[in-house]
Structure 1
Amino acid sequence: MKGVSGVPRALFVHAHPDDESLWTGGTMARHARRGGEVSLVTCTWVPGTARHGELLDAARELGLSREPIMLGYADSFVPESAPGATPFVSAPFDEQVAALVAHIREIKPHILVTYDAYGMYGHPDHIHANRLTCAAADAAAIGAYRPDAGEPWQVRSLYFITIPETTVTTLKPHLTEDSHLPVSGTPSDRIDLAVDVDDCLGSKIRAIVSHKTEIARSASMKAFGALPRDPQRLFLQWESYLRRDLVPGGAELA
Structure 2
Amino acid sequence: MSGIPSALFVHAHPDDESLWTGGTIAAHIARGGDADLITCTWAPGTVRNVELGDAARELGLSRPPIALGYADSFVPESAPDAPSFIDVQFDDEVAALVGHIRRIRPDIIVTYDAFGIYGHRDHIHTNRLVCAAADAAPLLHYAPGSGDPWQVKSLYFATIPVSVVDELRPFLPEASHLPLVGTPDDQVDLTLDLHEQLGAKIRAITSHRTEMARSASMKGFGSLPRDQQRLFLARESYQRRDLVPGGADLG
Q: Shorter-chain TM-score category?
A: over 0.9
Encode CA deviations 1:71-118: one digit per residue, 9 max, x unaligned: 010001111100031110110101100100000000000000000001
3-state secondary structure, aligned to 1:104:
helix
> Once the 2 structures are TM-superposed, how far is the Cα of residue 47 of structure 1 from its aligned partner?
1.1
Q: 1:114 aligns with which of 106, 111, 114?
A: 111
**Residues 7 and 110 in structure 2, CA contact (< 8 A), matched pair in contact too:** yes
**Residues 116 and 160 in structure 1, CA contact (< 8 A), matched pair in contact too:** yes
Q: 1:124 aligns with which of 121, 126, 131?
A: 121
Encode CA deviations 1:11-50: one digit per residue, 9 max, x unaligned: 0000000000000000000000111111001000011111
**Residues 165 and 187 in structure 1, CA contact (< 8 A), matched pair in contact too:** yes
Residue 99 (structure 2) pairs with residue 102 (structure 1) = yes
Letter in 2 for 1:247: V
Q: 1:144-159 maps to which residues of 2 (within 5 A)?
A: 144-159=141-156
Return the alpha-carbon distance in structure 2 between the equivalents of residues 131 and 67 of structure 1.
24
Aligned to 1:25: 22
Tell me the C-alpha RMSD between the 2 structures. 0.9
Residue 212 (structure 2) pairs with residue 215 (structure 1) = yes
Return the alpha-carbon distance in structure 2 between the equivalents of residues 216 and 184 of structure 1.
25
Aligned to 2:171: 174
Q: Give 5+ residue unaligned stretches, structure 1.
A: none
Return the alpha-carbon distance in structure 1 between the equivalents of residues 13 and 207 of structure 2.
14
> Once the 2 structures are TM-superposed, how far is the Cα of residue 252 of structure 1 from its aligned partner?
0.5
Residue 199 (structure 2) pairs with residue 202 (structure 1) = yes
Aligned to 1:16: 13
> Once the 2 structures are TM-superposed, how far is the Cα of residue 189 of structure 1 from its aligned partner?
1.1
Encode CA deviations 1:100-142: one digit per residue, 9 max, x unaligned: 0000000000000000001011100000000000000000010
Aligned to 2:70: 73
**Residues 119 and 178 in structure 2, CA contact (< 8 A), matched pair in contact too:** no
> Once the 2 structures are TM-superposed, how far is the Cα of residue 5 of structure 1 from its aligned partner?
1.0
Q: 1:86 aligns with which of 69, 83, 87?
A: 83
Q: Give 5+ residue unaligned stretches, structure 2.
A: none
Paired residues in the alignment total: 251
Q: 2:134 aligns with which of 123, 134, 137?
A: 137
Encode CA deviations 1:50-84: one digit per residue, 9 max, x unaligned: 11110000000111131101001000111110003
Return the alpha-carbon distance in structure 2 between the equivalents of residues 164 and 178 of structure 1.
21
3-state secondary structure, aligned to 2:40:
strand
**Residues 175 and 223 in structure 1, CA contact (< 8 A), matched pair in contact too:** yes
171-180 or 47-56: bigger deviation: 171-180
**Residues 113 and 158 in structure 2, CA contact (< 8 A), matched pair in contact too:** yes
Taking structure 1 as the reference length, what is the TM-score of the superposition?
A: 0.97
Aligned to 1:55: 52
